[in-house]
A and B are shown apart, each in its own frame.
Chain A
């Protein structure tokens, strides 16, 4: 049983644009991306949308539907009532290329700044042996599909573009946490997590967790454990005293130069 849905879609480029009204047919079982494709095929042939897998796995179709950051291919039309007008806008935090397509290169720049996996030099490739319990934590983070919905929603940069330089965002602080928890990694990224990647800007209000389509517990399992690790490195007087006495001086790994 189909019906006609009223859509308001943000159209424009280079930031300037407005909401345009459309009425589009909806059939049973469809998701928002299906309806956008029908709109593109029938009425707005120049509508720009980024998508790829239509299965919630490529992370391309991130947008904001009725103000909520979501994947268009994983948002069923049945969650809205047929009378409801759907407002669909591009992610607000990233610059618009055109219509619903944004330029997410900010995220790739942040990814490059993180010192990569650093195994002990004497261990040769193929020699790693790890137990499942050692990698469980990292494996949760590896479910990330890089949709950047968390980066888009985090108020630290969404509402304060001036913090973009100082803050890497939840997805990349989670990457730092993943490497810090890796049993075969010897780099120490705690100092740069705070000073270069801006972990202190996060106020653990959990919006990244709320929007993650992979249901990764970003705040509880990556950001808070990382904050606790940073406390151990920078703010815990007992740990500081202990490292003075035993002279186990910490070797901090610097951020990758030229990243920004």
Chain B
């Protein structure tokens, strides 16, 4: 048996600076932290207001209230019916989908990277010493729960179908026949981009084909995998764009529903 030769005990270079980087490495985490905070504050206020979430005339429902299942929901907004009696919005009307949407984004591989860097600062930027004395990563509770991401992905597919239905409803004019305005287009663009975000998910990439060893034996799944992989390369972009479109879609519905804005119609 050969014995590996032990190198003499040596130590790392003792450099006290946290980093010797001279480029503005702190900018990206600050920007990410600011944008995520603004978004979370906006969304929190909106889901608890319980107003201006539906435009009955044009059938516009904001994604933050879909499916509207509280007894409080105004007529026409509840595609899936009322699941509990009217209680004021201490419970968001779409709580059944919001928990999954929130869970999907919180366990998303991209958002994990974003908030670990921006908020937890582990690490804030590469080759910049992190401020924590101990580090166990995603090996323990609660972060080991990140491994449940694929279940949130399955639920996100269901929610994407629901939002597609909502977007289709937004193409009905006041008389119930086909018609559309700026709002319809915003809701449609939002749902298309949400499909982009959902299908570019790393769990989706694994499930559709990434888990295989032999691509050549599964040509169809291989083909799907190549398409999902192409989307997956833009997952970060989808993550940010959909935060923007969700906020825009909600803001637009809010403005039209409150009467602050009248929806320019192209047809009916």
On A, residues with C-beta under 8 Å from B are: 10, 12, 14-17, 64, 66-69, 84, 87, 89-90, 92-97, 102-103, 105, 109, 130-131, 133-134, 136, 153, 155-156, 158-163, 180-183, 185, 198, 200-207, 210-211, 220, 224-225, 227-232, 234-236
Contacts and interface: CB of A to CB of B under 8 A. Distances in A.
A84 to B, nearest CB: 8
Contact of A96 (B13, B129, B136): B13
B233 interface: yes
A184 to B, nearest CB: 9
Contacts of B202: 220, 224-225, 228
B211 A89 contact: no
Contact of A201 (B112, B136, B147): B136
Interface string B199-236: 00011011000110111100000100000000011000
B117 interface: yes
B119 to A, nearest CB: 12
Contacts of A234: 147
A202 B11 CA distance: 24
A225 B210 contact: yes
Contact of A228 (B4, B12, B129, B150): B150
Interface stretch (B54-62, B88-96, B137-145, B189-197): B137-145
A10 B13 contact: yes
Contact of A220 (B135, B138, B144, B232): B232
A130 B214 CA distance: 9
B interface secondary structure, majority:
loop
B9 to A, nearest CB: 8
B113 interface: yes
A85 B232 CA distance: 40
A254 B144 CA distance: 22
Nearest to B203: A228
Contact of B138 (A66, A95, A203): A203
A16 B14 contact: yes
Interface in B155-174: none
A89 B203 contact: no
A159 B20 contact: no
Contacts of B11: 14-15, 95-96
A227 B4 CA distance: 32
Contacts of A134: 213-216
A236 B13 CA distance: 43
Contacts of A155: 122-123, 130, 135
A189 to B, nearest CB: 12
Contact of A156 (B10, B137, B210): B137
B152 to A, nearest CB: 12
A interface secondary structure, majority:
mixed
B240 interface: no
Given A92-B13, A203-B116, A66 B22 contact: yes
B138 A202 contact: yes
Contacts of B139: 198, 200-201
A231 B150 contact: yes
B15 A133 contact: no
A225 to B, nearest CB: 5
9 contacts: A10-B15, A67-B22, A96-B12, A134-B216, A153-B126, A155-B122, A183-B216, A202-B137, A228-B202
Contact of A105 (B7, B134, B222): B7
Given A95-B10, A207-B126, A231 B147 contact: yes
A235 B148 CA distance: 7
Contact of A89 (B20, B129, B143, B232): B20
Nearest to A157: B135
Given A134-B216, A156-B135, A198-B139, A94 B12 contact: yes
A103 B11 CA distance: 9
Nearest to A221: B229
B147 A235 contact: yes
A205 B119 CA distance: 12
A205 B139 CA distance: 15
Nearest to B138: A200
A75 B14 CA distance: 24
Contacts of B232: 220
Contacts of B206: 225, 228-229, 232
A211 B126 contact: yes
B20 A66 contact: yes
Contacts of A96: 10-13
Nearest to A93: B12
A69 B147 CA distance: 31
